[in-house]
Amino acid sequence: MRTLLIGGTVDEKVAKTPRPHMLDADEVAELLRIKKGSAYEVIRKINAEQEARGRVVIRGRVRSDVFDALYFPEVD
């Protein structure tokens, strides 16, 4: 697929990094294979760390990129 850009064309479609989304307790529980109540504890812990860094958080939800970095780090 060719995409027209300002000043030229691109022959290959560039893969974009997926945009982070918000995970709820059900999704966290499924990913970690824990109970929903424990998933809420995980979310509260992550959100407390994010608030300490000055970030805005949503109660009961956690950003997928922050969660993945903590629980599924990429190993080189």
pLDDT at 51 over 90: yes
pLDDT tens-digit map of 23-49: 999 999 999 999 999 999 999 999 999
- Residues 6 or more apart whose CB falls under 8 angstroms from that of 22 comprise 58, 61, 62, 63, 64
Query: Which residues is 9 bridged to in the sheet?
Result: 4
Say what the pTM is: 0.73
Tell me what pLDDT residue 23 has: 97
Average pLDDT over residues 52-56: 96
Tell me what pLDDT residue 3 has: 47
Instruction: Pull the structure tokens for residue 68.
Output: 């993945």
In degrees to the nearest 10, what's the CA dihedral of 27, 61, 39, 71?
Answer: 80
